[in-house]
Amino acid sequence: ETGVTQSPTHLIKTRGQQVTLRCSSQSGHNTVSWYQQALGQGPQFIFQYYREEENGRGNFPPRFSGLQFPNYSSELNVNALELDDSALYLCASSLLRAQANEQFFGPGTRLTVL
Amino acid sequence: SQQGEEDPQALSIQEGENATMNCSYKTSINNLQWYRQNSGRGLVHLILIRSNEREKHSGRLRVTLDTSKKSSSLLITASRAADTASYFCATDEGGSYIPTFGRGTSLIVHP
């Protein structure tokens, strides 16, 4: 088991609402990435934060936003929820270095949008 | 978009048999990683192979990388029921070092 934790475990929202998901990184890691995983699919990269700055972004609209805090914990915010946002949201922490980016994943937050 | 694609999509074997999964990708990479995911939970990192490596071993796992064919394979020897999971390859392109995941192979090992 890694030291990455996520909260909440499950969440049910209705269309149009806003949601905040939280992630606590593994000790010593300075980078956090967020992924969306729809049922039966692989994780899709949303964005990555390195030392509180966005360090890369996938093909997701601006209503997906994030924050990384000085203690390297992180939030994913999604505004104006849509039915297609229903998915497992995974955060992964890592130590960014030049040659590799092995990621340690949390257990995920399962979001259901009704 | 997904860089890597795993094959087969699903694999069902008996305990004790070997399981082989393949991953193909489209552009040049720095590294290729394999992850395991149990039943909709978080992913667990299995092994990383760099673009200048051809083969790596970790316990019952053997990974090969053929950059000329843009493909990799994951071999699990002497499989166990506990190996039942989805397996994903993840590649990072060029200067990105951000892993991009495929759709995964669902492995079922029957006791």
pLDDT tens, residue by residue, B45-60: 999 999 999 999 999 9
Whole-number pLDDT of residue A51: 87
pLDDT at A90 over 70: yes
pLDDT at B94 over 70: no
The DSSP-derived string for chain A is --S-EEE-SEEEE-TT--EEEEEEPPTT--EEEEEEE-TTS--EEEEEEETTEEEEE-S--TTEEEEE-TTS-EEEEE-S--GGG-EEEEEEEE---SS----EE---EEEEE-
The span from the CA of A95 to the CA of A103, in Å, is: 8
The span from the CA of B59 to the CA of B57, in Å, is: 6
Closest residue in A to B35 (Cα–Cα) = A103
Q: CB-CB: which of A42, A56, A100 is closest to B88? A: A42
Whole-number pLDDT of residue B80: 97
Query: A73: pLDDT confidence band, cut at 50, 70 and 90?
Result: very high
Whole-number pLDDT of residue B95: 67
Q: CB–CB of A43 and B43 under 8 A?
A: yes
pLDDT at A100 over 70: no
Whole-number pLDDT of residue B99: 82
- Show the tokens assigned to A97: 């270095």
Distance from CA of A11 to the nearest CA of B (A): 15
pLDDT by residue (tens digit) across B25-48?
988 888 899 999 998 788 999 999
| More confident call, B5 vs B88 | B88
pLDDT by residue (tens digit) across A36-69?
999 989 999 999 998 899 988 999 999 999 999 9
B25, B43, B44, B106: which to substitute to probe chain A, counting the most A Cβ within 10 Å?
A: B43
What residues form DSSP beta bridges with B83? none
